[in-house]
Chain A
């Protein structure tokens, strides 16, 4: 098997002051997969994600890119962040420019692209997030959902191989979530590797190929979504509850190969059984 695109080995991280945030943590991000990092609020997911683009440096252990230990000098960090795009949970932490277009152009210009190329990237990213009509709007007049999309567009315009999103659906309404997931699906189909943190087991179940269960500063287990999320005992230890979809399917006595992954699939199954 080829080396994972991004791998975390024996990571320990202590905050300045000595509090241990992460310990003995292992994680692999395989190319082209959708990985959910699942954990309760305040369990340290954000701290982990900040290691994935080199913002934080492990106290012990290392991060590997394509099997090579990561470096933290300026040049390596630029290269790293070009490949791994991190979208923060709070869009206001990321948006700084006066208009959406200007904000999205920031990343490509930092990559040293020409103005023409940057314009192309910007319109492509705005198109992908379906916010092209907002290009000339002032950043501070956007709604939360729009800000979130603008923040993602800003990372997307750098065309990262891996898109890391911290709680991407937090604070979005049903429509916002549907829209965002649609965009992420397209990106994934276009070849992007996705990593996202969430406390929502249903989202992890319906969306991820792989799930890493995060608890008390470490990844307890990483594996196929259906297998990991079917482990009731493990989830309870991590203060999580198994997804309803999966529980219903198990109650119906379905075998592992035929588990429905969406409510539509489950409803179709039920209708079949009843009718």
Chain B
């Protein structure tokens, strides 16, 4: 999570208008879901990979590690899609060609869809998301909650890390039973701190005129129509190729 966050804040495309990244990614996601996956999926994967690595300058490994977890789940689930179960005469498990194709299609489609989101989360920091969400009509309180959670996650991750180090320094994790005990203590401590922190943040915000709405400036990012059009054209091309290739090899 820290790695994603780090890349989102430091990549080459960070200062681009979020719409330049969001709209192509969203359309690409739609195409992935609608068009035949076996041809479109690999093309989408390739495009998001190139955009992330070549375009935004994010290391391939980072892209890979974001994809790794969902990929592992998908691969673990695929065999169950390939196998069909029938209870007609007793229990009958069979591997049909249709089942195999279904498993392959679903996995490729899901992977391609995840790659669109990986691209977005690696290239767009949260500060760009929240104004966009607000403009798209998300309720202010939900957006504020996202903002606060995002900020506090790091404060508490930091606390948890130093707390754990301090416990380890006193051998709190030397034995299994002590590890459980230490983890419990740490969790309890973090809950307390969370409440305390909330109370003090309330004071801090009130000092700055907080009256129930967390309004902040939207980052000024010039929208480049040229870049947006180029990206959309590329996305359209991928869709066209995916569709045509599927027709050629049904």
Please report A residues at the B interface, Cβ cutoff 8 Å: 50, 53, 55, 74, 77-78, 81-82, 85-88, 90, 92-99, 101-103, 105-107, 109-111, 115, 118-119, 122, 136-141, 154-155, 158
Out of B5, B15, B126, B203, name the residue touching A88 (CB < 8 Å): B203
Evaluate whether A140 and B155 lie within 8 angstroms (CB atoms) in the complex, with A98-B125, A103-B216, A109-B215 already known: yes
A68 to chain B, nearest CB (A): 20
CA distance A54 to B127 in the complex (A): 31
Instruction: Give the number of residues in B that approach A within 8 Å (Cβ atoms).
Output: 30
B196 to chain A, nearest CB (A): 10
Main secondary structure of the interface of A (DSSP, over half): helix
CA distance A92 to B194 in the complex (A): 12
Number of inter-chain CB pairs below 8 Å: 105
Residues of B within 8 A of A77 (CB): 206
**Chain B residue at minimum C-beta to C-beta distance from A97:** B216
Residues of B within 8 A of A154 (CB): 208
Residues of A within 8 A of B215 (CB): 106, 109-110
Please report B residues at the A interface, Cβ cutoff 8 Å: 5, 9, 15, 125-127, 130, 147-148, 150-151, 154-155, 197, 200-201, 203-211, 214-217, 219
Out of A74, A87, A93, A101, name the residue touching B217 (CB < 8 Å): A101
Do B147 and A141 touch (CB < 8 A)?
A: no
Do A102 and B216 touch (CB < 8 A)?
A: yes
Out of B126, B206, B217, name the residue touching A119 (CB < 8 Å): B217
Do A158 and B127 touch (CB < 8 A)?
A: no
CA distance A193 to B125 in the complex (A): 38
CA distance A136 to B221 in the complex (A): 12
Do A74 and B206 touch (CB < 8 A)?
A: no
Do A98 and B209 touch (CB < 8 A)?
A: no
Do B208 and A158 touch (CB < 8 A)?
A: yes
Residues of A within 8 A of B211 (CB): 74, 78, 110
**Chain B residue at minimum C-beta to C-beta distance from A109:** B215
Q: List 13 A–B pairs whose Cβ atoms lie within 8 Å, in order of A's numbering.
A: A74-B211, A81-B207, A88-B207, A93-B197, A93-B204, A94-B201, A97-B214, A102-B127, A105-B216, A106-B214, A110-B211, A122-B217, A141-B9
Residues of B within 8 A of A88 (CB): 200, 203-204, 207
Do A115 and B217 touch (CB < 8 A)?
A: yes
**Chain A residue at minimum C-beta to C-beta distance from B206:** A55
Do A158 and B125 touch (CB < 8 A)?
A: no
Do B219 and A110 touch (CB < 8 A)?
A: no
Do A86 and B207 touch (CB < 8 A)?
A: yes
Do A97 and B147 touch (CB < 8 A)?
A: yes
CA distance A110 to B130 in the complex (A): 18
B176 to chain A, nearest CB (A): 33
